[in-house]
């Protein structure tokens, strides 16, 4: 009988241990959500802490604090500022889609805001930097239309800025970036036209060169576009069209190096102009 009692005790011990462990886990789960350390902060303190996190590069934390501030200071200029700062933090954190969505919401909700020019400038800047990364490619393949869309969206934001707020402190830089974007888009078309020409796809080369000439006026890329157009027509034995292209090239670029030296070798990413 004593042996049987000891065996029962041994069987009972693990069961009691498991029960104790389960109760400990339940107690942990019942401890409730983590306490919000910002609960007693004033809006100004919340803003200051969010800016400190942003300036330190802790963008995820900064975004969380700006979101709290938007809710607590709703309807005040500080809430609007928090929304713009949150967009900037998204932008610096590499979250372009979230930055654009935040800025679009700000522009829609606050059409009379004195910071509207900055919102438009930042929207252009977000797409402008995204565009640079997408255009920084080696000339071995074509790109999708998505690449040009980012640049065009950037251009439209800058254009709205300079048209609505010509005296804004951001307008001069926006104008320079607009010029760059137009040149970049034209050069993109020429870049692809050159790719096709060198691979014997002359019809495709003609189409891209014509796009550069028709869509973008008075850009540096027009010189090479005309030369590629001329040489592609020559390769297809389209003599009349080739002569027309040469005539336009000589009239607009009388000292063109393409006529004496031909197409240049690619010397690296063309987009590193900024």
Query: Which of 89-93, 130-134, 136-140 is predicted least confidently?
Result: 136-140
Rounded distance, CA 33 to CA 14, Å?
32
pLDDT-derived band at 136 (thresholds 50, 70, 90) equals very low
pLDDT-derived band at 273 (thresholds 50, 70, 90) equals very low
The whole-number pLDDT of residue 203 equals 97
176 vs 26, higher pLDDT: 176
Domain map (residue ranges) of the chain: 42-99
pLDDT at residue 272 greater than cutoff 90: no
Q: Report the sign of the C-alpha dihedral through residues 270, 208, 196, 151, in that order.
A: positive
pLDDT at residue 25 greater than cutoff 70: no
pLDDT-derived band at 269 (thresholds 50, 70, 90) equals very low
Query: Which of 89-98, 156-165, 179-188 is predicted least confidently?
Result: 179-188
The whole-number pLDDT of residue 208 equals 95
Mean pLDDT of 231-237: 97
Degrees, nearest 5: CA angle 225-231-237: 135
Percentage, residues of the chain above pLDDT 90: 64
The reported pTM is: 0.72
Rounded distance, CA 202 to CA 231, Å?
9
Quote the crossing angle between the two packed helices 59-72 and 43-55, to the nearest 10°.
160
Mean pLDDT of 129-144: 43
Mean pLDDT of 148-175: 94
271 vs 206, higher pLDDT: 206
Rounded distance, CA 94 to CA 99, Å?
9
């Amino acid at each position: 009988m004593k042996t049987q009692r000891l065996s029962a005790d041994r069987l009972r011990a693990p069961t009691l241990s498991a029960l104790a462990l389960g109760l400990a886990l339940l107690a942990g789960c019942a401890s409730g959500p983590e306490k919000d350390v910002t609960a007693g902060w004033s809006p100004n303190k919340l803003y200051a802490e969010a800016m400190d996190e942003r300036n330190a590069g802790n963008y995820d934390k900064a975004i969380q604090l700006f979101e709290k501030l938007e809710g607590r200071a709703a309807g005040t200029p500080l809430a609007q500022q928090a929304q713009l700062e949150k967009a900037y933090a998204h932008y610096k954190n590499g979250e372009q889609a979230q930055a654009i969505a935040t800025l679009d919401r700000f522009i829609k909700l606050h059409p009379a805001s004195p910071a509207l020019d900055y919102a438009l400038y930042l929207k252009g800047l977000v797409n402008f930097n995204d565009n640079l990364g997408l255009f920084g490619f080696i000339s071995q393949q074509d790109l999708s239309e998505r690449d040009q869309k980012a640049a065009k969206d950037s251009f439209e934001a800058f254009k709205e800025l300079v048209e609505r707020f010509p005296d804004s402190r951001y307008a001069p830089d926006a104008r320079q970036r607009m010029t760059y974007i137009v040149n970049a888009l034209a050069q993109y078309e020429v870049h692809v036209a050159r790719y096709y020409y060198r691979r014997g796809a002359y019809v495709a080369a003609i189409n891209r060169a014509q796009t550069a000439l028709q869509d973008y006026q008075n850009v540096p890329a027009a010189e090479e576009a005309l030369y590629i157009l001329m040489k592609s027509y020559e390769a297809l034995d389209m003599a009349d069209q080739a002569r027309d292209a040469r005539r336009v090239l000589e009239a607009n670029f009388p000292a063109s190096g393409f006529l004496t030296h031909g197409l240049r070798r690619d010397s690296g990413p063309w987009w590193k102009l900024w």
